[in-house]
Amino acid sequence: MSRAGVEFKRRMLRLLKEDEEFRYAVMGLLGVEDIRSGQARLEEAIERLTEAQARTEQAIAQLVERQGKLEEAMKQLAERQDRLEERQGRLEERQARLEEAMIRLAEGQARLEERQDRLEEAMTRLAEAQARLEERQGKLEEAMTRLTEAQARLEERQDRLEEAVTRLIEGQARLEERQGKLEEAMTRLTEAQARTEMALQELSRHVTSLSETIGFGLEDIARVVVPGWLYRHEGILVDNLVRRFFVVDGEEVEVNLYGEGTRNASRVIILGEAKARIYEGDVKNFGRAVDKVSPLFAEEVYKLMFGYYVHPSAEKEAKNRGITLIASYMR
């Protein structure tokens, strides 16, 4: 600071100390300025306070709005809670009904198992009844077989008559001088044929009684049918077919249709088997037996099987083995 300034300061201080009027004047000046400055600051503070009040009121309004939304949300939440509790109540009710239904289902399952046991028992009884029915059917089939055998026997008798007529016709050239007797024989044969036809008609009316009285065996039928069939279809003349046993390498082999015949003045050995139903396995078994016996003969061996029924599976096997299959209904 300069000396002039220092001097001025000293003079001012001295005047303030010595001159009371001057001192009050200065103090008044200083107070007005402070009041003006404070008023300006106060107005500025009031303005800021007003702005803050406005912002506060705006914030309060926003807070009130948010509180309203919050109350609405709380109300909705309470409603949802009520609905949830209601749904939970219905769920518990449904669960109770489900448990009750499960109990009824278990009871129904127990009743069903009991019914199934009764059904299995009934099925067992039905199976036993079925077995008895099959047994009866077997007996019926056996009776039908006997009837078929009897019918075949009658048919074979007719074939024998036809064969006799054929032989008579063939010998007619050599027996012209005995023609009268042949005509008489033909008359008897015609009458016999008529009686045979009447017998067949009587057979159809009395099947039951006939099944009880006729007991011809299949081999007996074969011994009647086969010779005529061999003569008509193969030109083999054989008088009789019998059962024979052969021993081959210490093994006994049975042939239930054995015969010795001729064809074109050559000797022929007949090896055959009679079986009610002929299947592929039967043909194989007979073929193996014949293969053992055939080497015992130097003559031609004719192999055949005779039965009531020939299964298709047997035909191919018989053809491969050179075995002739003859059914009872074949002429």
pLDDT in tens, 240-280: 999 999 999 999 999 999 999 999 999 999 999 999 999 99
**Collapsed DSSP state (helix, strand, coil) of residue 2:** coil
What values do phi and psi take at 310, rounded to 5?
A: -115, 115
Identify the weakest region by mean pLDDT among 83-92, 184-193, 203-212, 226-235: 203-212
Mean pLDDT calculated for residue range 72-85? 82
Query: pTM for the complete prediction?
Result: 0.38
Residue 198 has pLDDT above 70, yes or no: no
pLDDT in tens, 149-189: 766 775 676 677 567 656 765 666 676 676 667 667 666 76
What values do phi and psi take at 271, rounded to 5?
A: -120, 115
Helices and strands in the chain, H and E counts = 7, 8
What are the DSSP E strand ranges found in 125-241? 237-238
Q: Which domains does the chain have, with CATH numbers?
A: 217-331 (3.40.1350.10)
Structure tokens at 130: 């079925």
Contact call for residues 150 and 200 (beta carbons, < 8 A): no
Say what the pLDDT of residue 302 is.
Answer: 97
Mean pLDDT calculated for residue range 23-43? 68
Residue 217 has pLDDT above 90, yes or no: no
How many whole angstroms separate alpha carbon 135 and alpha carbon 70? 91
The continuous run of DSSP H or E covering 305 comes out as strand 300-307
